[in-house]
Structure 1
Amino acid sequence: MERMRVTDGDSATAAPAAELPQRPLCRRVDMWVDFDQIGWDEWIVHPKRYNAYRCEGECPTPLDESFSPTNHAYMQSLLRHHHPERGSCPSCVPTRLSPLSMLYYENDDLALRHHEDMIVEECGCH
C-alpha cells in the first residue's frame, strides 16, 4: 500500500522561523485511497476509491480526557510537562476504526466482504 495516493486539504505554506504557528492539535484528516493508483483496480469492483482518513497533529502537554489518552500516554505527558528532557510526546493515532465493505473478484467469483479497521473514525493520543 506504499504507492497509495495521499491527499489532504491542509497544504500549509512555509513561514519564516520566527512566525511559525504552533502545529495543530491531534485530529482526523483526509487520506484518499485510490485503488487504480495502487494497481488493484483490476480486481476491486467497488469502491474504486475511499477516504480512509489518517491522524495528524500534536498531543498537548499535559493531556486531557478529550484526546482519549491511555493511562500510559497520560503519564508520559505529565513527565514531559514537568521534565521535558526526560519524556517523549504521546503520538496522535487512530483510536476508533470502522470497517469497509468491498465488492471484488476472488478466485473468479464475485465476493462481498467487510474488512475491519479500514476507516479512521476518531484520533487520540497514545
Structure 2
Amino acid sequence: YNTSEQKQACKKHELYVSFRDLGWQDWIIAPEGYAAFYCDGECSFPLNAHMNATNHAIVQTLVHLMFPDHVPKPCCAPTKLNAISVLYFDDSSNVILKKYRNMVVRSCGCH
C-alpha cells in the first residue's frame, strides 16, 4: 500500500452503457447505448468547493474525523443528471418515443 496512490477525489468517470450488453436490444430500437457516466472517489476533509458537498456532508465529514469508527465519510454521488430519449416497443408492439429522466450523470458531489 502506497500513500501516494490514495484514492482520487470524488469526480465523474466515463461509462458507456450498451443496451445489447443488458439484453435490451429486442425492445429498445434506438439508441444502441449511451454515455451514462458514474461518480466515484473519496469525500475526504477538507471538502473543496468543486466537490459540490451538501452542508450535511460537510458536518458528517467533521464528525467522521472525530469518530471514524462510528460515522463514515460522505458518499460520492450524482448532483446533476440529464435525461435521454429512447425509442422502444411497448408490450403491444407499438413504437414509443419516451424521455427518461435522470439517466446521464452531469456532475458529482459529496452527500
- TM-score, shorter chain, exceeding 0.5: yes
Change (3 A) 1:39 1:95: same
Of 93, 106, 109, the residue aligned with 1:121 is: 106
Q: Do structure 1's residue 56 and structure 2's residue 40 form an aligned pair? A: yes
Structure 1 length-normalised TM: 0.79
Q: Could you say what secondary structure the match of 1:81 adopts?
A: helix
CA contact (8 A) 1:62 1:81 kept: no
CA contact (8 A) 1:61 1:80 kept: no
Change (3 A) 1:54 1:18: closer
CA distance in 2, matches of 1:67, 1:74: 10
> What value does the CA root-mean-square deviation take over the aligned residues?
1.6
Higher RCO (CA 8 Å, separation ≥ 6 residues): 2
CA distance in 2, matches of 1:19, 1:62: 17
Change (3 A) 1:29 1:102: same
Unaligned runs of 5+ in 1: 1-16
Deviation at 1:86, TM superposition (A): 4.3
Name the amino acid aligned to 1:56: D
Aligned pairs for 1:21-32 (under 5 A) are 21-32=5-16
Q: Percent same amino acid among aligned pairs?
A: 35
Of 47, 56, 63, the residue aligned with 1:72 is: 56
Which stretches of structure 1, 4 residues or longer, exceed 6 Å deviation after superposition?
Answer: none
CA contact (8 A) 1:59 1:89 kept: yes
CA contact (8 A) 1:47 1:103 kept: yes
CA distance in 2, matches of 1:19, 1:112: 50
CA distance in 1, matches of 2:79, 2:2: 34
Of 33, 41, 44, the residue aligned with 2:25 is: 41
Deviation at 1:60, TM superposition (A): 2.1
Structure 2 length-normalised TM: 0.89
Deviation at 1:70, TM superposition (A): 1.6
CA distance in 1, matches of 2:107, 2:2: 33
